[in-house]
Amino acid sequence: MHNNFLIATESACIVLGKEVVDAANSTGMYQTGLSENSDSLGEKVIDAATLTKIRKFLDQAIVHAWHAVKSERRPPNLTATRWVWRLAGAYHSSRHTSPLMEKAAQGFSALGRWNLAQWAAQKAREEAGHDRLALLDIQAMGYDALAVVQALVPTSMQDYIDFFTQIVQRTNPIDCVGLCYASERLGTFIGEEYIQRVEALLPPGIQATRWLRVHSNVGSEVKHVDDILEIVAQLSPEEHSRIAKACYETAVLRFSPPKEDYISDEELQHILKSLERPTNLLV
C-alpha cells in the first residue's frame, strides 16, 4: 500500500478480475462500443448488460493505470504510527471533496445538465463531515488532531486534490465523474478482513477506523459506484471516453508513490511526539 491512501493497491488488479485484466491488455482504451439506445422521448434505455459493459470499460482504465505506474518503490510497512499519517491524508481529501463537488454541481447546472448537477450535489452532501471522521480517528490515537493535519500534508494527496480542483473548474466538469468512479471503485476493494488487520495494529481498545469503514465495501462505496454507473449510462460514447480518461489519470495518482522519499518512521515519530495529548472530544 502507498502511505498516502487507504487502499490495498497490491490486490487491485486481482480484485478487478482476470476478464477485465485480459480485456485491458487486448483492447484499446476509451472505445466503449456502447450503443445509444433511447426511447421516443430521447431518454437512454439502461439495462443490466449496459451497466456491466460500462463497469468493465471503466475498470479497464484502472487496470491500465496499474500497469502504467510499474514502480519498484515499495511503501513502508503499516504501523500504528504510520496509520496516523494515512489518516492525515484521508482528512485532507475529505475536507475538499464536498466543496469541490458543490463546484461541479454549479458547473453542470450552468450547462443545463440537471441529472449530473443533482448527482454532484448529492455527492457533496454524502461526503460532508467525513473529514471529521478522520479527525476523530487521529484523536483516538492520542494526538491533537487539528495540529496533526496541519503538520502532515502528504504531497501525493496534494497532487490528487490539485487534479480534482482543476477538473471542477473546467467549463464542463464531466471528468469529475471519472475521478469519483476511480476513487470509490478502489474503496470497494477494502473489506472487513483488511479493516481488522488495521485494527490489530492499533493499541488495545483504540477505535480509529471510522473513516476507513465508511470508505469501504462495508460502508457506502458499493452503492456510490452503482450510482455513478447509472449516471454514465445516460451519457454519450464521447463522454464515456472522457470519463474513462479521467478515471485512468486518477488511478495513476492513486497508484504512484510520492515523488520524494516516503517519510521515515523516525521523522514521523519525531513530528507526532510533540502533538500527543489526552483523548477528549473535538470541539
Domain definitions of the chain by residue range? 9-273
Q: How many other β-carbons are positioned within 10 Å of the β-carbon of residue 48? A: 7
**Residue 53: pLDDT over 90:** yes
Q: How many other β-carbons are positioned within 10 Å of the β-carbon of residue 200? A: 8
User: What's the burial of 122, exposed, middle or buried (CB within 10 Å: 0-12/13-18/19+)?
Assistant: middle
Q: Under CATH, what is the fold of the domain 9-273?
A: Heme Oxygenase; Chain A (1.20.910)
Identity of the amino acid at 240:
H
Cα Rg of the chain, angstroms: 19
Nearest to 84 by CA among 141, 129, 38: 141
Residue 45's pLDDT is 57
Q: Which three cell numbers stand for residue 269?
A: 515519530
Give the position of cell 466503449. Answer: 32
Q: Which residues contact 118 (CB under 8 A, 6 or more apart)?
A: 105
**Residue 17: pLDDT over 80:** no
**Residue 224: pLDDT over 50:** yes
Report the pLDDT averaged over residues 39-66.
80
The kind and range of the H/E element at 132 are: helix 130-140
**Residue 241: pLDDT over 60:** yes
Q: How many other β-carbons are positioned within 10 Å of the β-carbon of residue 107? A: 22
Report the pLDDT averaged over residues 206-224.
94
Q: Distance between CA atoms of 110 and 96, rounded to whole angstroms?
A: 21
Report the pLDDT averaged over residues 212-233.
94
For the chain, give the percent of residues with pLDDT over 70.
82
Q: What are phi and psi of 190, to 5 degrees?
A: -90, 120
The model's pTM: 0.84
**Residue 6: pLDDT over 80:** no
Cα 34 to the center of its chain, rounded Å: 26
**Residue 189: pLDDT over 90:** yes
Q: Distance between CA atoms of 92 and 87, rounded to whole angstroms?
A: 9
pLDDT band at residue 57 under the 50/70/90 scheme: very high
**Residue 199: pLDDT over 70:** yes
Average pLDDT score over the chain: 85
